[in-house]
A and B are shown apart, each in its own frame.
Chain A
């Protein structure tokens, strides 16, 4: 790991200033559970790290009636244990509870997760299926526009995610097949029946990151049942392939997880 300057701003403005001051080499750090591993491997070598830990107002979960807003610095364990999330969107709480292990859940944040957009991360599936809005220091971005392929998002270099707003669905569930070693998603499917209609969003499987399965959504629109999606195969073209799961197996798992998520919607 290279040497870097550590900034501990106490306001969003200070954080933005530090980020701009550091130029190309500056990076935000939230829970550090995605950034530090890549720094240890010298895959990222930022010159400046700007911590969001001391920025006020980023750690709250607010019940907005027809939506729930989760602050960017909320840890996965906080979302999993939140009474508001459990009551309004239990699928989201359960999803957060299935991220990595206890250490990861106590350090990793929702803001870091969506900003990083790891193709095997869980939150992107939840955001897209639920039709969430990503709130930043300067604008609001719908999740359909936010996630732009592996590790790519609509964020500008100096833009800070401040919160994610989830519309409350009528019903939703997440089913994940975890990598046995890392516990990241090999195939994670969030199914939601919400204000934006029925959505099926898949993470972990594709090299392009989160994607929706239109054919499954149509089938569920006609009949919201596990059987309706059980017969819908997704193509293995463009699927990730690694030692734990080849492309065919991943494609197969997407269908199985989709079926299980629908069944879990009750």
Chain B
């Protein structure tokens, strides 16, 4: 840790919180441009229909209305693209139907964009939209995977027979089959990974402007990745060159993956601003957010685990069906494949693993990344299956895991990944101790005395973060690179601006990145500011998702700082009349080794900008940029233990304790890391017990508001018991791994395993997420006959 006490490892209070907590944050909806108009997006009320015609005449005549555009007006403007090409088992590319920004001829889900009404006020735009008469000629809809794959099911796209987008596989099928031939035991499981609605606190919003004098477009938007939006919107949809399109993602109030995709509304707004030559603003209402923000998860899987007589895993076979929704959102296709299938080794030495995934179009909101994206689905399946194997084989639940742990690194899994480092025994031991696993039976008895059923559950997991390297993901179908950029500008008097291509929407980058720079340069934490979110200010970068920002973006910043130090040494050597090799840099000072002759960073910076006495041939200025393309994924890992108490009369499940023992790599700011863990655990417990997006068979969203969709609240959660055991990532200089998704990946199976453990004495052996009180009560009823 640096001398100023706010460097790496210090729980510095978050810089950004001053503005967030005092109401001075600047979110997209806070931005108003002179002369702006308001856009209202008319959405389809039906899940599947031919559009017979759209009569906008009454709406056009309504007060304050400036313009109305429908699909036919935007015809010819490029459709919304998707970011990852998946190939099926047979080598064929996935079916990739067009996605018009405004529905053209057909609507495919409740919430599909049908028209934009632009008016003087938001209310006028909305009122006028109610006057648009759309002739929906309804078609049968498919609202679930089961419906999509049924014989004679309605077709979401004519070009996707059976509604199949692709049928993908990873791993060695023959080797896996052979493992099953040898097995003493085979344990199988069917699981559903419940569909979730992300529910960021800040609804999506956008404000687009076109300057006819310069031809410049500007789009302020609620995005996790402004440059990605610029690339997709500019190059693929509107055909605008990068230098004429500026994307600003200012303060963003939560993303969780739902603000990664390039949304149709962004294209509609920007195009409309161009048509009208005036700024147009749109803010999504909460009720529309439920039916237009991308949803998450939604898998049906069946899996088998082959074991030898001792409980060693020999092979794993997974078959999954995934729901992609009505159109291919930006990362929709890779979430259930390359963020899912390659996770199935988990922390175990299973020598043969095979996973196949068939993905379907349905008449539902497009599905994309949601906190963990693919990895929670994989971890849930694996940890439910391992737990079930222990029960069926009569083995101890901890021992079966320990028996199969990977202990030699690097470890090449049978499903593409190579783990660089880890210590799974250490986190397991830590979790068992911290949760007082050994003392559980006494607590169970105490609960039983109060008429409650207590259970304990465990999950030991790894995740893969900081998806990389670009060349590898490119060969797997990614249409973008997955490196990150960082620029470090030391100002003439020694304060520092850091420019990052990542985006902070709750993660605290402004603090964490400042700590790294402050630590490395020995400057005051307060003297370092982090700039992100504006494509006109920052170098090209890929944004924030998949717990990548520190491991990839932080490393880019680290490398840029190293370049600054290297250049500073040259300047200092000149000033100190020493040779560059003799200059050491520590705590903000360049010193001639073995002497007390030194120059401060500030002096060196001033010299760089006022280069009167300066090394010959060296460029003035002290600003460096680095692009970092990671060598590998990072592999955070850990053990989560959940303890629950079930009220057998009502079926209510109370989470009474959650213990995490996590290895997230080097910790820069322990308070922020624990905050991320807490949020992720809340998210994971929400999925396990409360959250479930339900559609009716006709494609109407049943859980379309907070009356029916249950978000986890503070009162639903215990105080979290968080513990750390750190091993360093071997392939980035900071040794960091990532923490943003850990909780939502690790804890759901621990919670469900605990619920089943609690209910097993009553004869219940299975439980689906979310384990709502009704579901638990019904399971008890059924088991009791």
Give A contacts to B, CB under 8 Å. 41, 177, 179-182, 242-246, 249, 252-253, 256
Residues of B697-719 whose CB lies within 8 A of A? 702-703, 706-711, 716
B710 to chain A, nearest CB (A): 4
Of the candidates A179, A243, A253, A256, the one whose C-beta lies within 8 Å of that of B702 is A243
In the complex, the answer to whether A256 meets B709 with C-beta atoms within 8 Å is no
Interface of A (DSSP majority class): loop
B780 to chain A, nearest CB (A): 11
Enumerate chain B residues within 8 angstroms of A177, measured Cβ to Cβ.
650, 773
Question: Most chain-A Cβ atoms within 10 A of its Cβ — which of B702, B716, B774?
Answer: B774
Of the candidates B287, B649, B710, the one whose C-beta lies within 8 Å of that of A181 is B710
In the complex, the answer to whether A245 meets B774 with C-beta atoms within 8 Å is yes
| Complex alpha-carbon distance, A41 and B709, angstroms | 17
Answer whether A256 and B650 are a contact pair too, CB < 8 Å, given A180-B690, A244-B774, A249-B774. yes
Enumerate chain B residues within 8 angstroms of A181, measured Cβ to Cβ.
690, 706-711
In the complex, the answer to whether A244 meets B772 with C-beta atoms within 8 Å is yes
In the complex, the answer to whether A256 meets B706 with C-beta atoms within 8 Å is no
In the complex, the answer to whether A182 meets B774 with C-beta atoms within 8 Å is no
Answer whether A243 and B708 are a contact pair too, CB < 8 Å, given A41-B287, A180-B690, A249-B774. yes
10 contacts between A and B (CB under 8 A): A180-B773, A181-B708, A181-B711, A182-B707, A243-B694, A243-B703, A244-B774, A245-B774, A249-B651, A253-B650
Let me know if B412 is at the binding interface, CB within 8 A.
Answer: no
| Complex alpha-carbon distance, A179 and B709, angstroms | 10
Enumerate chain B residues within 8 angstroms of A182, measured Cβ to Cβ.
706-708
Let me know if B579 is at the binding interface, CB within 8 A.
Answer: no
Chain B minimum-CB-distance residue to A177: B650
Give B contacts to A, CB under 8 Å. 287, 649-651, 690, 692, 694, 702-703, 706-711, 716, 772-774, 777-778
Of the candidates A41, A242, A249, the one whose C-beta lies within 8 Å of that of B778 is A249
Chain B minimum-CB-distance residue to A253: B650
Enumerate chain A residues within 8 angstroms of B710, measured Cβ to Cβ.
180-181
| Complex alpha-carbon distance, A242 and B690, angstroms | 15
| Complex alpha-carbon distance, A27 and B173, angstroms | 68
| Complex alpha-carbon distance, A41 and B285, angstroms | 11
* Among all A-B residue pairs, the 6 with the closest Cβ atoms: A181-B710, A180-B710, A182-B707, A256-B649, A249-B774, A243-B708
In the complex, the answer to whether A242 meets B708 with C-beta atoms within 8 Å is yes
| Complex alpha-carbon distance, A220 and B513, angstroms | 67
| Complex alpha-carbon distance, A182 and B287, angstroms | 15
A263 to chain B, nearest CB (A): 12
A174 to chain B, nearest CB (A): 16
A51 to chain B, nearest CB (A): 21
| Complex alpha-carbon distance, A182 and B711, angstroms | 10
Enumerate chain A residues within 8 angstroms of B708, measured Cβ to Cβ.
181-182, 242-244
Of the candidates A180, A252, A253, A256, the one whose C-beta lies within 8 Å of that of B772 is A180
A184 to chain B, nearest CB (A): 8
Enumerate chain A residues within 8 angstroms of B709, measured Cβ to Cβ.
181
| Complex alpha-carbon distance, A236 and B650, angstroms | 16
Enumerate chain A residues within 8 angstroms of B694, measured Cβ to Cβ.
243
Question: Most chain-B Cβ atoms within 10 A of its Cβ — which of A179, A180, A181, A249?
Answer: A180
| Complex alpha-carbon distance, A122 and B622, angstroms | 67
| Complex alpha-carbon distance, A253 and B778, angstroms | 12
| Complex alpha-carbon distance, A18 and B701, angstroms | 40
| Complex alpha-carbon distance, A142 and B740, angstroms | 57
B45 to chain A, nearest CB (A): 13
Question: Most chain-A Cβ atoms within 10 A of its Cβ — which of B651, B707, B711?
Answer: B707
Answer whether A252 and B777 are a contact pair too, CB < 8 Å, given A41-B287, A177-B650. yes
Enumerate chain B residues within 8 angstroms of A180, measured Cβ to Cβ.
690, 710, 716, 772-773
Chain B minimum-CB-distance residue to A40: B287
Enumerate chain B residues within 8 angstroms of A243, measured Cβ to Cβ.
692, 694, 702-703, 708
Enumerate chain A residues within 8 angstroms of B711, measured Cβ to Cβ.
181
B651 to chain A, nearest CB (A): 8
| Complex alpha-carbon distance, A183 and B707, angstroms | 8
Answer whether A249 and B703 are a contact pair too, CB < 8 Å, given A244-B708, A256-B649. no
Enumerate chain B residues within 8 angstroms of A256, measured Cβ to Cβ.
649-650
Enumerate chain A residues within 8 angstroms of B690, measured Cβ to Cβ.
180-181
Chain A minimum-CB-distance residue to B777: A249
Answer whether A246 and B774 are a contact pair too, CB < 8 Å, given A41-B287, A177-B650, A256-B650. yes
Chain B minimum-CB-distance residue to A246: B774
| Complex alpha-carbon distance, A177 and B702, angstroms | 22
Enumerate chain B residues within 8 angstroms of A242, measured Cβ to Cβ.
708
| Complex alpha-carbon distance, A241 and B244, angstroms | 55
| Complex alpha-carbon distance, A244 and B652, angstroms | 12
Apart from A177-B773, A244-B772: 4 A-B pairs, beta carbons within 8 A: A180-B716, A180-B773, A182-B706, A245-B774
| Complex alpha-carbon distance, A108 and B361, angstroms | 44
Chain A minimum-CB-distance residue to B707: A182
| Complex alpha-carbon distance, A243 and B706, angstroms | 12
Chain B minimum-CB-distance residue to A120: B707
B576 to chain A, nearest CB (A): 64
Enumerate chain A residues within 8 angstroms of B707, measured Cβ to Cβ.
179, 181-182
Enumerate chain B residues within 8 angstroms of A179, measured Cβ to Cβ.
707
Chain B minimum-CB-distance residue to A3: B123
| Complex alpha-carbon distance, A180 and B692, angstroms | 12
Chain B minimum-CB-distance residue to A257: B650
B593 to chain A, nearest CB (A): 63
B126 to chain A, nearest CB (A): 9
| Complex alpha-carbon distance, A179 and B706, angstroms | 11
B378 to chain A, nearest CB (A): 27
B700 to chain A, nearest CB (A): 13
| Complex alpha-carbon distance, A179 and B773, angstroms | 10
Enumerate chain A residues within 8 angstroms of B778, measured Cβ to Cβ.
249
| Complex alpha-carbon distance, A179 and B716, angstroms | 13
Chain A minimum-CB-distance residue to B130: A42
| Complex alpha-carbon distance, A182 and B649, angstroms | 22
Chain B minimum-CB-distance residue to A1: B123
Chain A minimum-CB-distance residue to B285: A40
A193 to chain B, nearest CB (A): 23
Enumerate chain A residues within 8 angstroms of B774, measured Cβ to Cβ.
244-246, 249
Question: Most chain-A Cβ atoms within 10 A of its Cβ — which of B650, B692, B772?
Answer: B650
Chain A minimum-CB-distance residue to B710: A181
| Complex alpha-carbon distance, A242 and B708, angstroms | 9
| Complex alpha-carbon distance, A177 and B772, angstroms | 13
B264 to chain A, nearest CB (A): 24
| Complex alpha-carbon distance, A170 and B649, angstroms | 28
| Complex alpha-carbon distance, A234 and B634, angstroms | 57
Enumerate chain B residues within 8 angstroms of A41, measured Cβ to Cβ.
287
Question: Most chain-B Cβ atoms within 10 A of its Cβ — which of A242, A243, A252?
Answer: A243
B42 to chain A, nearest CB (A): 14
Enumerate chain A residues within 8 angstroms of B772, measured Cβ to Cβ.
180, 244
A177 to chain B, nearest CB (A): 6
Chain A minimum-CB-distance residue to B775: A249
Enumerate chain B residues within 8 angstroms of A252, measured Cβ to Cβ.
777
| Complex alpha-carbon distance, A91 and B726, angstroms | 52
Chain B minimum-CB-distance residue to A260: B649
| Complex alpha-carbon distance, A256 and B651, angstroms | 11
Enumerate chain B residues within 8 angstroms of A244, measured Cβ to Cβ.
708, 772, 774
B201 to chain A, nearest CB (A): 15
B62 to chain A, nearest CB (A): 13
B202 to chain A, nearest CB (A): 19
| Complex alpha-carbon distance, A242 and B692, angstroms | 13
Enumerate chain A residues within 8 angstroms of B702, measured Cβ to Cβ.
243
| Complex alpha-carbon distance, A252 and B772, angstroms | 15
Enumerate chain B residues within 8 angstroms of A245, measured Cβ to Cβ.
774
Chain A minimum-CB-distance residue to B126: A1
Chain B minimum-CB-distance residue to A101: B713
B176 to chain A, nearest CB (A): 39
Chain B minimum-CB-distance residue to A252: B777
